[in-house]
Amino acid sequence: MNVLITGGSRGIGAAIARRFGATGAHVAICGRDEEALHEVAADIVEAGGEATTQRADVRDEFDVERFAETAAREGGPLDVVVANAGVYHGDPGETPIADESYAAFDDHVRTNGRGVFATVRESVPHLADGARVLVPSGGIARDPKPGFGSYAVSKALAEALARQFAADLDATVGVVDPGQVSTDLTDGGPGREPADVADLFHWAATEAPAEDLDAGVLDLRTWKQATR
């Protein structure tokens, strides 16, 4: 199995990478921190998998294009794509949209929305038959709450992109919602540990019914009900 993950140097992306590595998969990860990428790659190899790393910024489509090409060259057609890279400018719950800067808005949309577009678009030429594309998101994309501003907007855009790609591609494309997770993105705030939700993503990529994932949202409750 060949798995491509953006934002794979830390948090949820790194946890997903390690989970697939433990199954012996080839895992290609990208991010902006090369040292952190190498650390995750070492864990993947130690667990029995194969790893490819590449410094890439999902805001740059040429970076993403090169990353997808490298992943396919090193591991073959892409069986799983996880468009995971994301940013949050400010403190979660304390960024009302009326007070946000244009720079924060633009970078949320460019990274969390356009970055998903670039990741999926540049992966399309390399997708294997039966490939699955996962877009991590959260309830804030569908149920707005005060103080999440343009981050919530960008995640809604990411989910809309998943639905449109699902309509246009033969591959299965859907959203995976792990609930609240404690990561650098949220400044280590309350939530589950990334490793605790990695099984959800592995299940969504390998065992969940394709018709449930395609243009849909798979969350923790769905996973627990299906695997208990």
- CB proximity list for 207: less than 8 A, separation 6 or greater: 226
Q: Is 151 a catalytic residue?
A: yes
Q: Which of 70, 68, 85, 179 has the alpha carbon at shortest distance from 131?
A: 68
d(CA 137, CA 130): 22
List the structure tokens of 67: 């990353």
Please check whether residue 158 is in contact with residue 165, taking contact to mean a CB–CB distance below 8 angstroms: no
Q: At what angle do helices 220-227 and 194-206 cross, to 10 degrees?
A: 70
Burial zone of 158 (CB within 10 Å; 0-12 exposed, 13-18 middle, 19+ buried): buried
Q: Which of 20, 151, 201, 203 is catalytic?
A: 151
Kindly list the catalytic residues.
151
